[in-house]
Amino acid sequence: MSKYYYLSEGDHLWPSWVLFTPLGKITSKRRVPGAISPTVNRLLGPRSAGPIRIKPPYAKLLCPRCGRYEASEAYDIGFDEDVSIGIQGDFGHTTDRVLVITSAFLAALKMIGVRGYESQPIGKTGWHALRISLAGQC
Residue 134 has a pLDDT of 82
Residue 32 has a pLDDT of 46
- Quick check: 96 and 19 in contact, CB under 8 A? yes
Q: Is the pLDDT of residue 117 over 90?
A: yes
Whole-number Å distance between alpha carbons of 32 and 42: 11
**β-strands 117-121, 99-102 pairing:** unpaired
3-36, pLDDT tens digit by residue? 655 555 555 556 788 998 887 665 544 444 455 5
Whole-number Å distance between alpha carbons of 94 and 101: 10
Q: What is the mean pLDDT of residues 62-79?
A: 90
Name beta bridge partners: 101. 91, 128
Q: Where residue 72 falls among pLDDT bands split at 50, 70, 90?
A: confident
CA angle at 71 for the pair 73 and 129, rounded to the nearest 5° = 90
Q: Is the pLDDT of residue 108 over 80?
A: yes
- What value does the mean pLDDT of the chain take? 78
Whole-number Å distance between alpha carbons of 89 and 2: 23
Q: Is the pLDDT of residue 97 over 70?
A: yes
CA angle at 122 for the pair 82 and 10, rounded to the nearest 5° = 90
Would you list the DSSP string of 6-25?
Answer: ---GGGSSS---SSEEE-SP
Whole-number Å distance between alpha carbons of 138 and 125: 35
Q: Full-prediction pTM beyond 0.75?
A: no
- Quick check: 16 and 46 in contact, CB under 8 A? no
